Amino acid sequence: MRVGVLALQGAVSEHVSCLYKAMGKIGVPESEREIVEVRVKSDLEGLEGIVLPGGESTTLSLLMEEEGLFEAVSAVPKILGTCAGAILLAKEIIGAKNGQKSLGLMDISVVRNAYGRQLESFEERIGIVLDGKEGEINAVFIRAPVIGKVGEGVEVLASCRGEPVAVRQGKYIAATFHPELSGDTLLHEYFLRT
């Protein structure tokens, strides 16, 4: 199994670690686990999926544009976007900064930094429904966006404080929190199985 993590900014090593553990939990032999840190287009070759990590969404957008990664990342079969990565997946970004682009792959609108500043970051145990089964996951919110609108064909997987915080549309999953910082691999496992 060959998957990538966009490695321009953000919690790259944490996602790599979570993906490696998640592959083990879903039965992928060690010899078949390959995780690529994606910095240039050629790193995307042969990927089954990619994780777009948190970080600063405007900076990620600009760096992706500099490297010509927008079209190439859009061609990867499945994508998990967390925090800033969720912003990159959205069709609409409310509060977008100068020159900020998104992949526009999911019919959602997101509000940047809607949960507040760094000091207002929090962790909360939330319910999540994956493959029709209810579970719980630790969700770490750091200057997190809010999913303000969910379009048709978008499934809400988890909510927190009345707002959707994890959604899926086809092979794309967006989460406004950082699952890689909680040590919980449930969302990564789900991403790998989809």
Residue 178 annotated among the catalytic residues of the structure: yes
Residue 11, pLDDT score: 87
Give the total number of structural domains in the chain.
Answer: 1
| Residue of 14, 15, 56, 178 with catalytic role | 178
Q: Binning pLDDT at 50, 70 and 90, where does residue 117 land? A: low
CB 111 within 8 A of CB 94: yes
Write out pLDDT tens, residues 12-51.
Answer: 999 999 999 999 999 999 999 999 999 999 999 999 999 9
131 pLDDT exceeds 80?
yes
Residue 180 annotated among the catalytic residues of the structure: yes
Write out pLDDT tens, residues 165-190.
Answer: 999 999 999 999 999 999 889 999 99
Burial call 137-176: b when 16+ CB within 10 Å, e when fewer: bbbbbbbbbbbeebeeebeebbbbeebbbbbbbeebbbbb
Residue 84, pLDDT score: 93
Residue 83 annotated among the catalytic residues of the structure: yes
- For 85, the 3-state DSSP assignment is helix
Q: Binning pLDDT at 50, 70 and 90, where does residue 112 land? A: confident
Percentage above 90 pLDDT, the chain: 80
187: which 2 tokens?
């969302």
Q: Binning pLDDT at 50, 70 and 90, where does residue 66 land? A: very high
134: which 2 tokens?
């209810």
Write out pLDDT tens, residues 73-109.
Answer: 999 999 999 999 999 999 999 877 776 889 999 999 9
* Mean per-residue pLDDT over the chain, rounded: 93
Q: Which domain holds residue 79?
A: 2-193
Residue 134 sits in a domain of what CATH number?
3.40.50.880
Beta-bridged to residue 178, according to DSSP, are: none
2 pLDDT exceeds 90?
yes
| Residue of 83, 160, 188, 189 with catalytic role | 83
